[in-house]
Amino acid sequence: MKTKRISIIVLMFLITPLVFAQSRNNIRRVGNNPRLPQINLRPISVRAVHNLRNARQAVKVRGFYYDGTVPMLLDNFNLVKRNTLLPKNSFVRLAAPLSGVKNGEKVEVITQVKFSRMRGNLRVPSLKKPAPRNVTRVTQISRADLWRKIPDFVLVGLGNCIIRKANKHAILISGGYDATNNHARYWNDLAKTYEVLVTKKCYREENIHVLYADGTPRVANSMPVDGGATKAEIKDLFNDLKASLTSNDEVLIMTNNHGGGFHLQNKSIEGGVVDTNGDEQDNYSESSLNMDLNGDGDKNDIVSFDEVLYLWQSKITDDDFAKEIDKLSHIKSISIVMEQCFSGGFIDDLMKPYSLRLPPVPRAGPRIELGPIGTRRIGAVNSRQLIGNYSKRVLMSAASEEEFSYGGTTYNIFTYWWISALNGSKIDNTSQSLVVDANSDNKISMAEVYEYARSHDTANETPHYDDNSQNPIATGAIPGSNDGSLGSKIYP
């Protein structure tokens, strides 16, 4: 009897830690179970894994399986088809192969991550030599016994797409700045755009890159988020795309949430940054405005402002954002739609990367008097001279460089109509189809999407458009006298 009691105690001693360990994370060891255990985890992308800081936390990771030499998950399976090094943060290693899974199949893994030091291209540096500068911390999935195959595009369904567009890519960015200012409509704009691109425009899920707030999805089991909307994440993403995209690829970019600049009517600095490199041509007179715009203690200067896009607890200027866009100058086309306040101020900076920058020259064109503020010019020639071919860029904004943009309860106003035009029906009433194909060629171009949004936008904002890299930037109907030719040939 004593021996039996001892055996029971020993058995309880062995089982109890396992029970507690499993209940702590609510994970069952199920192997390749078609139904993953019910665990309250939001799925994250391979890229988002690299932002984790707690090695003990359980994660649910989605990616494409590949086992060339080292088993791994990829955010884009096409990367291994090219004879180039894998970009940093594009993969996460698996500790062991997944039995029965073929290369290129999409899987979902619940596991824990392991932190290690290694090169982004999988070459582990020798411990006898100093670590090279490009060594980065890379996460590795340390256990992969909780996993399943998942169908492609499981989040929003296949829609009517039979063939996915391999050369179409999208970047969706919304910072929100902090929890207080991160309105639900910013997520809704991005999530609905993501859904339309996948179900109606036949984009591949892995070709849509989402940088949102701090990297945490607002809605579980919805649009996957690749990382936070930070300068570092933006830089890494554009570096990766620079290395992986080709001259046949096309990119659509949406920026959302808050923007900063100088509000002329209110005579207020709303987050804009004083221009220091002379590329802005606002030329506000401090004496006329009776304001110390640059904070130097006097009111004697002529001041211009860089507009900004707010990120997560930071912001990026139009100059710095343009530098990231210029990394993709080798691809076929770039279309950018910007919802944030003062977004029209980004357009001058985003016009094609000129092969030569000349010093500012006097602006020509008709003048308009703005009272005590000074003389501004409309129809001016940009101070950056056009050298070489026109850029294959279509640039759209919800507001001018001196205006706020506005949102509704569920969506921002301009993007509501822009996404609806892209969708072919109102996104909150899909039974109401829209006539967006103005030229009746059975295709909806980027210019037609913009024009539908512009003509239906009832907010106190002035949408702007450019696709010929020349001023004046269009505020009227598209196609117009100067703009619309390129945008009419680019299809999202």
| Domain shared by 276 and 245, yes or no | yes
What pLDDT is stored for residue 41 in this prediction? 59
Which regions in the chain score pLDDT beneath 70?
Answer: 1-43, 51-58, 81-84, 111-162, 353-391
Given 149, 176, 209, the domain boundary residue is: 149
Residue 350's Cβ-side half-sphere holds a number of Cα atoms within 13 Å equal to: 31
What pLDDT is stored for residue 52 in this prediction? 65
**Under 8 Å between Cβ of 478 and 435:** no
| Domain shared by 227 and 299, yes or no | yes
| Domain shared by 235 and 356, yes or no | yes
Please, which contacts does 472-479 make with residues 24 or more away whose CB atoms are closer than 8 Å? Answer: 472/365, 472/378, 472/379, 472/380, 473/344, 473/347, 473/348, 475/400, 477/451, 478/447, 478/450, 478/451, 478/454, 479/447
- In SS3 terms, the chain reads as CHHHHHHHHHHHHHHHHHHHHHHHHCCCCCEECCCCCCCCCCEEEHHHHCCCCCCCCEEEEEEEEEECCCEEEECCHHHHHCCCCCCCCCEEEECCCCCCCCCCCEEEEEEEEEEEEECCCCCCCCCCCCCCCCCEEEEEECCCCEEEECCCCCCCCCCCCCCCECCEEEEEEECCECCCCCCHHHHHHHHHHHHHHHHCCCECHHHEEEEECCCCCCCCCCCCCCECCCHHHHHHHHHHHHHHCCCCCEEEEEEECCEEEEECCCCEEEECEECCCCCCCCCEEHHHHCCCCCCCCCCCCEECEECEEECECCEEEHHHHHHHHHHHCCCCEEEEEECCCCHHHHHHHHCCCCCCCCCCCCCCCCEEECHHHCEEECCCCCCCCCCCCCCCEEEEECCCCCCCCCECCCCEHHHHHHHHHHHCEECCEEEEECCCCCCCCCCCCHHHHHHHHHHHCCCCCCCEEECCCCCCCECCCCCCCCCCCCHHHCCC
Q: Is residue 328 assigned to a domain? A: yes
CATH number of the domain residue 142 falls in: 2.40.50
| Domain shared by 58 and 173, yes or no | no
| Domain shared by 362 and 252, yes or no | yes
| Domain shared by 67 and 128, yes or no | yes
Q: Is residue 277 assigned to a domain? A: yes
| Domain shared by 52 and 199, yes or no | no
| Domain shared by 431 and 312, yes or no | yes
Q: Which residue has the tokens 């072919």?
A: 424
What pLDDT is stored for residue 53 in this prediction? 58
Contacts of 17 (CB under 8 A, 6+ apart): none
Q: What angle do CA 114, 115, 121 make, to 5 degrees?
A: 110
For the record, the structure tokens of 254 come out as: 């949406």
Give dist(CA 360, CA 345) in Å, integer: 17
| Domain shared by 405 and 369, yes or no | yes
Q: Is residue 9 assigned to a domain? A: no
Going from the C-alpha of 124 to that of each of 65, 87, 159, the distances in angstroms are 21, 15, 43
What pLDDT is stored for residue 113 in this prediction? 61
Q: Is residue 338 assigned to a domain? A: yes
The domain total for the chain is: 2
Give the end-to-end CA distance of the chain in Å, rounded to a whole number: 78
What is the value of pTM for the model shown? 0.68
What pLDDT is stored for residue 256 in this prediction? 96
CATH number of the domain residue 392 falls in: 3.40.50.1460
What pLDDT is stored for residue 260 in this prediction? 96
| Domain shared by 292 and 407, yes or no | yes
| Domain shared by 104 and 187, yes or no | no
Question: In terms of residue numbers, what domain contains 196?
Answer: 168-489
| Domain shared by 271 and 354, yes or no | yes
Q: Is residue 11 assigned to a domain? A: no
Q: Is residue 7 assigned to a domain? A: no
Q: Is residue 60 assigned to a domain? A: yes
373 closest CA partner among 262, 207, 212, 451: 262
Q: Is residue 3 assigned to a domain? A: no
